[in-house]
A and B are shown apart, each in its own frame.
Chain A
Amino acid sequence: MSGQQSKTWDVAVVGAGMAGMSAALFAASRGLSVLHVGNGGGLLFASGLLDVLGVHPVAPGRVWDRPWDALAALGKDDPGHPLVRVGADAVRVAMERVMSELGDAGMPYAPAEGNRQVPTSLGTTKVTYGVPRSMVAGAQAFAEGLPTLLVDFRGLREFSACQVVQTMGDRWPGLRCARVEFPDSEALSELYAVHVATALESSATRERLFERVRPLLGDASAVGFPAVLGLSRSGQVHQAFEAALGMPVFEIPTMPTSVPGLRLKGALEAAVGAHGVSRRVQSVVTGIVFDGDVAQLTLHDAAGGQTAAARAVILATGRFVGKGLVADRRGVAEPILGLRVEQPEARDSWHSRRFLEPAGHPINRAGLVTDSVGRPLDAAGNPAWRRLYAVGSILGRQDWMRQKCGSGLSAGTAWAAVDAIAGDLGGPGPVAG
């Protein structure tokens, strides 16, 4: 029906999490034509904080100030880890690219030197690498122990400023809390974070909020808010807050699904769209067959099935949550192509005896095995196809959740895969950027 079936794409990206989005972005900005299939909804669960490598080794839980040092250490202990395979340089460029694209799409990131400790709505801190500009002042204020006011809004259940003060107070003595009535919502008992964020994109609403916040500032030299300062133009909204309140302003990330998750998804979609990627948001790939030099993909969505052809395929379908891997009685499998999945021998060895095993469970490191350039192996142990690459969390031998390396893993492996494909298809080299 769409008349586009006859086209052969340079690359088909399957999956739209961090890995798939990065891959589509990288490929399109290298001039490749890209068909991108998958629902980016998983990104909604993200916090907007982009991890590269925060913890190594997992067992003692050592936290690193610089991810590159952590990566060097990882390389010695775990050479099979995908991050080690792609190397620090690729990860660094990939992250820079992702962050600058996000900035162009209205969600700017602070320049990243090393890892930061960002205060969260639970009163904990999270170690991470890429921090949205709207959140970075919180990490600084916490690090320097500045006198800081935390503001929350009546009716917004996701965030209680005083609860944060209660949990963090002993580590951050100058921290105070206050509650204000959000403009135009006096008659509402419950507020939805996303709606508050959208409302704050209007300067009139912001002005009214500033009037309520200014009298509460007192001796504070920084102000924190729940992460609701704008949705699609959070960068501008945040700037407007700092200008109006005359001091550093920061957001505190809230629990998923949160505004930053929606922002991240929106910004990545916008970036991908701006690069001319052809998106199939509500489609899934149900089959791929390789036909010589071309892969034939079968797509399914509410309007039925279609096929698409591509000269290279990037598989970024995630693990269990993303449905890139499925588990049944017989073990873990990759459902589209039946690729080889490295996994514990038997199901009862999936989890260690201790449920909260600090080192993680063997199953947390299950995933696809690849050759040295990232092509997944089939059951016989050979690359399944010359131009099939796997990226992101579907890869085995990593535990991104405990190692705090989700985004770095996704973007880094995507970068390497696109680089290899572009080289193979004879495209131009990476654009400096």
Chain B
Amino acid sequence: MADTVFHEGFFRIALWVSLALGGLGLLWRLVTWLTVRIGSDAREVSFGQRLWAAIGGGVGALFSRRLPGMMGAFFLDVLFQRRLFATSKLRWAGHLMILVGFTVLLVMHALAAWLSGKLFDNYYATLNPFLLLRNVFGAMAVIGVVLLALGRRRDWAFGRPARRPADGIFAALLAVVLVSGFLLEAQKIASPKAFYRMTDEFGLGTDAEELAGLRWVWKQDYGVAFTDLHGEPDADVLAEGRELNSQACVDCHARPQSAFVSYPMARAMAPVTATLDAANADRALLWLHVLACLLGIVVLPFTRFFHAVADPVSLVARGAAASGPLSLAGRVSRRALAADACIRCGLCDARCSVAPIARWLDNPELLPSRKVQATRRVAGRAWTRVGDGDADRLAQGAHLCTDCGRCTLRCPVGLDLADLWDAGRDDLAARGLPAPATWIQEQPAIAWAEALGTELGRVPPAGPLSADRRTFSACVQCQTCTNVCPVVAHGGTDADRVDLTPQKVMNLLRLGMVDLALGSRMVWDCATCYQCQENCPEGIRVTDVMLELRGAAWRQLGPVRDRRRPE
């Protein structure tokens, strides 16, 4: 019968408390999938509708044509992780090793008392194959972590992928669990104290001769670090020891060399084993190991490793969506789930179409993994700082996205990022950060000129073209640019119509009144069709100037904008 620390009162309580906390965390996260509102249409559906849609979707899916799709998604996407396989073999291998390593350790080792112990009547943690396997899977998990870290590094586009503080904590806990586990095993292997505890328990200490033999055997074959045994053992003593060992020990103790990680550690630790024994190190390590595990349970729902729960749901939801359009309530929940299920793996960043632009602008907020987090933050109540430079960087990220869809294709979790980006832009707009064309057109050109607070004509030139008088000095104000402009032509009413015609914009430049042009609707409604430029009898680069004015307006009007906070 396998033993477990959880028979001890304290550990038992700690286990239940952490399970309860972890459960609450899990519940909280699940509830956010139904409460977080991303996108303006999210307001149209209530919690109840979303809950209903989720339940209905889940149940419905089980009894519908969707089932095969979802099963397929589960096997291929969740278990085999085919999307990760397609995008990064290295990370796929790492992920698989962690997944297998930890699952096996959980089942075989942590839950030994309930699972392995019951499954195998000869289960002993110290017996092979279990001893070997524990090392195999432990090592697997460690290698997996290393591979993932390497892969992640290699795939960095620019700037780190998004992360949350809890991610670091959890990663540290993980390291603690793995390291303390191996240390504990090593210490147990080498510890004379553990040896005596066993011999006492089994009443083997009575015959001093026998015990001496057994100690020699355990020193030589099992690597226990007895400090008082020197030289070579007497052959008879040794034989007696072997006799005893084969009677009393071997049924439960394989030779620890098969613990190919812990055994070398034990050998290396031999000089300090006694000191550690004196300090009750095995006990301390056990505490550390178990408490780190339990703490891990508590933090898990708040870390990227929660994807172990969220991603299967997301992938299955994706499978469901693939076989038929989702309801609005379903879509809204899927957005919340997406914002939650992102594991910040950064695979999307590596092939984001605007990554080179992000690098040039030195703004990592253009990258999708960051935008997922930003979308969540903007939608959440915590968002109170719309209007500062940081917000502008987020807005830039949202509005420069080309909707190329590559991130959605690449995401190993199958998040519907395209829908998330649309919804995120909605939210930004509702909080006063729509696309530049929109916010600039919210007030007339003259108001912008006043906001710039300069005397008319005293703003810096908009760029190399407008700085050079020759660009427009030849303009004869012939009105041709206006005549051929489709934007002027299609203004159906005075209110709809652009405030200035292209010809007038050129005239403002000629008069040095750049500030009046910057915020004009003409500049922002220009379709960049190049009719004006092509038809200008004086060869003036009207459209190129318009584009330059836009860039300048974006830079110069942003800071003087009266930003509004969310109502």
Contact = CB atoms under 8 A, between A and B. Distances in A.
Contact, chains A and B (beta carbon distance below 8 A): yes
B489 interface: yes
A188 interface: yes
A187 B495 contact: yes
Contact of B494 (A41, A42, A187, A284): A187
Interface in A278-318: 281-282, 284, 302
A39 interface: yes
B483 A262 contact: yes
Interface stretch (A1-9, A172-180, A189-197, A377-385): A189-197
A184 B489 CA distance: 12
A256 B483 CA distance: 12
A44 interface: yes
Given A39-B537, A281-B534, A44 B480 contact: yes
B480 A282 contact: no
Contacts of A256: 478
B541 A302 contact: yes
Interface string B471-494: 000000011101110001101111
A195 B485 CA distance: 9
A187 to B, nearest CB: 3
B442 interface: no
Given A188-B497, A194-B483, A257 B488 contact: no
Nearest to A281: B534
A41 B492 contact: no
A29 interface: no
B539 interface: yes
Given A187-B493, A257-B478, A257-B483, A192 B538 contact: no
Interface in A258-283: 262, 281-282
Interface residues of B, number: 24
A199 to B, nearest CB: 8
A195 B488 contact: yes
A307 to B, nearest CB: 20
Contact of A188 (B479, B491, B544): B491
Contacts of B493: 187-188
Given A187-B492, A187-B495, A192 B482 contact: yes
A100 interface: no
A330 B100 CA distance: 92
A282 B534 contact: yes
Interface string A34-65: 00000111101100000000000000000000
Interface string A178-215: 00000011011100111100100000000000000000
B298 interface: no
Interface string B527-557: 0000001111111010010000000000000
Nearest to B488: A192
B488 A39 contact: no
Contacts of B480: 41, 44, 257, 262
A188 B498 CA distance: 12
Nearest to B483: A194
With most chain B CB atoms within 10 A of its CB, the pick from A40, A194, A284 is A194
Nearest to A187: B493
Interface residues of A, number: 23
Contacts of B482: 192
Interface in A96-129: none
Contacts of A39: 536-539
Contacts of B478: 41, 44-45, 256-257
B489 A194 contact: yes
A41 B537 contact: yes
Interface string B23-59: 0000000000000000000000000000000000000
Nearest to A301: B539
A198 B485 CA distance: 12
A44 B537 contact: yes
Nearest to A189: B494
Given A41-B535, A257-B480, A188 B489 contact: no
Nearest to A256: B478
Contacts of B538: 39, 41
A45 B539 CA distance: 15
Contacts of B491: 188
Contacts of B541: 302
A184 B536 contact: no
B537 A195 contact: no
A2 to B, nearest CB: 17
Given A194-B483, A281-B534, A184 B492 contact: yes
B479 A257 contact: yes
Contacts of B535: 41
Nearest to A266: B535
Nearest to A197: B483
B100 to A, nearest CB: 57
Contacts of B492: 184-185, 187-188
A188 B483 contact: no
Nearest to A43: B537
A169 B496 CA distance: 40
B489 A192 contact: yes
A192 B483 contact: yes
A262 B534 CA distance: 13
Contact of B537 (A42, A185, A302): A42
A39 B533 CA distance: 11
A268 to B, nearest CB: 13
Contacts of A185: 492
Interface string B482-525: 11100011011111110000000000000000000000000000
A273 B162 CA distance: 56
A41 B531 CA distance: 13
A282 B539 contact: yes
A256 B496 CA distance: 27
A198 B489 contact: yes
Contacts of A44: 478, 480, 537
The 10 closest A-B pairs by CB, nearest first: A41-B537, A187-B493, A194-B483, A195-B489, A257-B478, A282-B539, A189-B494, A44-B480, A44-B537, A39-B539
Interface of A: 39-42, 44-45, 184-185, 187-189, 192-195, 198, 256-257, 262, 281-282, 284, 302
Interface of B: 478-480, 482-484, 488-489, 491-497, 533-539, 541, 544
14 contacts: A39-B536, A39-B539, A41-B536, A45-B478, A187-B495, A187-B496, A188-B493, A188-B497, A192-B483, A192-B489, A194-B483, A194-B484, A262-B483, A302-B544
Given A192-B482, A195-B488, 17 more contacts: A39-B538, A41-B535, A41-B539, A184-B492, A188-B493, A188-B494, A188-B497, A194-B483, A194-B484, A194-B489, A195-B483, A195-B489, A257-B483, A262-B483, A262-B484, A281-B534, A302-B544
